[in-house]
């Protein structure tokens, strides 16, 4: 005897995927930059150097100096010279008074007579360094204004464009289960 069998047929499901890749465009523009350069500046100021030569002591030593100083010297010596003059007159008077002792006092006084007045020596001191020399160097001033660079930088945003791709998922074949029962030819 034959045992009836049930037949089962199965069809698998088939999924289909249709995909297209998305498109993307990415762009980064360069930064916007503004640059300003301020140049450095220098200003120079200078004065002239000076050479000062003072010959007053030379002229004073030659007795041709400043009138006011010369007269001041004579004035300060006047009292001493007056006393010396009185002493000289007294001495000559004493010589004249001694004429009876012999000799010739008038001839001796004439021999000692001078046309200059040595007691009026109003000349300054004669020296090798009577000339005063002074040098005043020039002055230099430098004013500097430093330079600089002003930068203004603005970063630009990136440009991003994206076009989505296509993704279709669908059933190409649905699953199927078919059960076939056996045929029974028997009567009951």
82-140 pLDDT, tens digit per residue, is: 888 888 888 888 888 887 777 787 887 777 776 556 666 777 787 888 889 999 999 99
Higher pLDDT, 1 or 127: 127
Q: In this predicted model, what pLDDT tens digit does every residue of 130-181 receive, in sequence order? A: 889 999 999 999 999 999 999 999 999 999 999 988 889 999 899 999 988 8
Taking the domains of the chain in order of start, what are their residue ranges? 1-39+137-188, 50-127
Whether the pLDDT of residue 50 is over 90: the answer is yes
> Given the DSSP bridges, would you call strands 140-145 and 41-46 parallel, antiparallel or unpaired?
antiparallel
Task: Determine the Cα angle at 15 with ends 12 and 16, to 5°.
Answer: 140
Indicate the SS3 state at residue 84.
helix
pTM score above 0.85: no
């Amino acid at each position: 005897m034959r045992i009836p069998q049930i037949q089962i047929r199965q069809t698998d499901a088939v999924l289909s995927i249709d995909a297209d890749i998305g498109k993307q465009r990415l762009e980064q523009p360069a930064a916007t930059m503004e640059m300003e350069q301020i140049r450095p500046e220098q200003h120079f100021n200078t004065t002239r150097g000076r050479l000062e030569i003072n010959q007053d002591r030379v002229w004073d030593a030659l007795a041709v100096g400043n009138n006011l100083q010369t007269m001041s010297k004579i004035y300060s010596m006047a009292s001493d010279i007056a006393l010396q003059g009185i002493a000289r007159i007294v001495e000559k008077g004493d010589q004249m008074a001694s004429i009876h002792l012999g000799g010739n006092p008038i001839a001796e006084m004439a021999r000692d007579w001078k046309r200059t007045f040595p007691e009026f020596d109003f000349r300054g001191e004669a020296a090798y360094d009577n000339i005063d020399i002074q040098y005043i160097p020039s002055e230099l001033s430098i004013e500097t204004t430093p330079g600089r660079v002003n930068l203004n930088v603005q970063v630009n945003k990136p440009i991003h464009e994206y076009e989505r791709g296509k993704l279709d998922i669908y059933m190409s074949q649905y699953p199927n289960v078919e059960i076939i029962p056996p045929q029974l030819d028997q009567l009951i």
